[in-house]
Structure 1
């Protein structure tokens, strides 16, 4: 039997509302290294989005290399496989190839091809148990960019992008199985598989050609396990052996309720079992209130009711997303609540102002559907102002808009 730690979507260098997440990343990766040691894993697979940006900071890169070194130290014989995601600079990720080889780490940013086809020596990695016996292989496939997709012969039914991804995986898996025989094959992927739950505001719609997702059956049954990255919620898609490990901790408001962690995969011949191992959350990520919205006048009491420590370190302060119900004008409310939040040991990650649905909203929406060319600019301004602030514009606002409109007409 071999045991594999599947993780993904580290997003090193990520910031939230301008706040660094470096301290959280260090704590989460400390826990990940401890899990690798405790579980005595034979492989660590990182399924993309190591970094949050195509130009990662020196600090983010240092944390990545330090983590690889620590994983190698705690699991000297383990295969360590990293593939690029859509956030990663594929070429830069691969650049320290000589150093990776010294550390026996496989990092794949793009599909490497030879005249006869994909270079399996680059993409196929054996997984050995503690005694040196091969118990599985990892087929390292990064985020499929345009140049990675094979040419298609003739017309295809449905999306040519999905067909290209299907052909890519079909070819790679067929070649890998021909090379390894009955050895179980673990395949990586960094893309959106249809049926997976997205995290609103955090995950880009990434496939080329305007496509968004591929069906689970692009991964043939010959793949014993598919280690996915891109979606931040841990979940299976299509079948139990196609799984997203999820991110290390919440990267957006939507993710605050997720059970973040890593996936441990145990493979013994044809038997494959996986289990979720949660990671401790480095700092709390709170939605206030948990559901709905509170009046602006109740924000101070709600923050006080969190019962937080008086003066934690700045990097240990909880992230808070506030939802505030408003009915009248909200001019200056963002700044007012921001100043109020600074009196508490929290980091305000987001503020949503929510208004109750008014009667006649449907009729108003239908009225607004009239072509703009048929409406007076001042009328559109008044309706937009009322929708934004819950009250009609004052004469001063109307005068200011008229002055701006007059300037535009003069320039025209």
Structure 2
């Protein structure tokens, strides 16, 4: 049995007002190729299927048409999705009765019954293409404070914070219940949270706080779990010797993620569930000028020209660019020139920032009004705002304005 672990699709994401749909469609094409070429039996999606709690109709259609496409191309494929902190959990679950007929299992919220957690909803039997039961998956969606049993406001015996202790207890209880049903077959788990020791990304991941805690140790997942497929952190990475793993996002969702080796994680039950990273092609180039620090506008202009980009490329296939400029002239002028530069090139602006030079901390107190003049105050304010000396145009404009007061 072969299992493919993915996460953090973030369907519907916008980057500086630009849609990512073109990239998502390209990602799904590549993902389908992996499902077929690697003869995958189970596809896991570890949360943040959508980017927001109110996905558009087009975004939802993209998801459900893609799931149907996968099942049609790979008959017998099982797909299990859980909700992440970005997802509308109940909306994600709403079509589950229909999706189950396609072999798609969705868990958006933690379900309970009179006996505790409803294991009929959370423990998913995994079968190979012959229909033989091979393993079980414990599907745990993004947990909220109300989901954690016996939560108190103090640490358990002073050992660890109450939130972590409650999360540990919940995962232990669910694992025990799963093992009791598994009949000796391997049990895996899927979740959506932050583990301590993992590397986070700035710009797209939210620090999800519950009771003052945003991360839990990976050992809240009992050792009896053969593999833990996680979502939320966008950098592909393994913890606990590879037993606990983030597959990462399908392509960069922020500037921080540009260097990441985005892809999916393949597991083979017959080979001990050792994670194997499969790099996927990046649908669109995402560039940063300069690669580090800041640069004058002229250097960025030359770097864009050196790319020799095709001016006829469709807008939704144009590269994204992040630009950080040196503040060598007033920000208003620099921004206007940067916008004109972007318009001349077949690129889409993902982010634009200006790096101002840090001013030295004044050693003397500021002068009193009796000791200075309006023009001197203007000069001080200009330097503080732009980290530059005003030129003759700015001084002349100030004098013209002051003469009318």
* TM-score normalized by the length of structure 1: 0.87
- The equivalent residue for 1:386 is 383
- The equivalent residue for 1:409 is none
Aligned pair count reads: 387
Q: Do the aligned partners of 2:267 and 2:273 also contact (CA within 8 Å) in 1? A: yes
Of 238, 242, 245, the residue aligned with 2:244 is: 242
RMSD of aligned C-alpha atoms? 2.6
Q: Structure 1 residues 194, 381: CA separation in 2 closer, same or farther (over 3 Å shift)?
A: farther
- The equivalent residue for 1:407 is none
The CA distance in 2 between the partners of 1:79 and 1:87, in whole Å, is: 23
- The equivalent residue for 1:200 is 202
> What residue ranges of structure 2 are gaps of 5+ in the alignment?
366-373
Q: Structure 1 residues 168, 367: CA separation in 2 closer, same or farther (over 3 Å shift)?
A: farther
Displacement of 1:183 in angstroms is 1.2
- The equivalent residue for 2:323 is 322
The CA distance in 1 between the partners of 2:103 and 2:273, in whole Å, is: 26
Displacement of 1:384 in angstroms is 7.2
The CA distance in 2 between the partners of 1:384 and 1:90, in whole Å, is: 50
The CA distance in 2 between the partners of 1:385 and 1:144, in whole Å, is: 50
Q: Structure 1 residues 367, 258: CA separation in 2 closer, same or farther (over 3 Å shift)?
A: farther
- The equivalent residue for 2:368 is none
The CA distance in 1 between the partners of 2:348 and 2:45, in whole Å, is: 30
Deviations 1:368-400 (A, max 9, x none): 9xxxxxxxxx99998776344114787877999
The CA distance in 2 between the partners of 1:263 and 1:213, in whole Å, is: 22
Listed as ranges, the matches of 1:1-400 within 5 Å are: 2-152=1-151, 156=156, 157=158, 158-268=160-270, 271-358=272-359, 360=360, 363=361, 386-391=383-388
> What residue ranges of structure 1 are gaps of 5+ in the alignment?
369-377, 401-412
* TM-score normalized by the length of structure 2: 0.89
Say which SS state the counterpart of residue 137 (structure 1) adopts.
Answer: strand
Deviations 1:334-376 (A, max 9, x none): 2320121111010011112123445x4xx45x999xxxxxxxx
Q: Structure 1 residues 293, 391: CA separation in 2 closer, same or farther (over 3 Å shift)?
A: closer
- The equivalent residue for 2:371 is none
Deviations 1:178-228 (A, max 9, x none): 111321111011011111111111100113223211111111111111100
Displacement of 1:126 in angstroms is 1.3
Q: Do the aligned partners of 1:13 and 1:56 also contact (CA within 8 Å) in 2? A: yes
The CA distance in 2 between the partners of 1:146 and 1:155, in whole Å, is: 15
Say which SS state the counterpart of residue 208 (structure 1) adopts.
Answer: coil
Q: Do the aligned partners of 2:151 and 2:163 also contact (CA within 8 Å) in 1? A: no
The CA distance in 1 between the partners of 2:238 and 2:274, in whole Å, is: 12
The CA distance in 1 between the partners of 2:219 and 2:88, in whole Å, is: 28
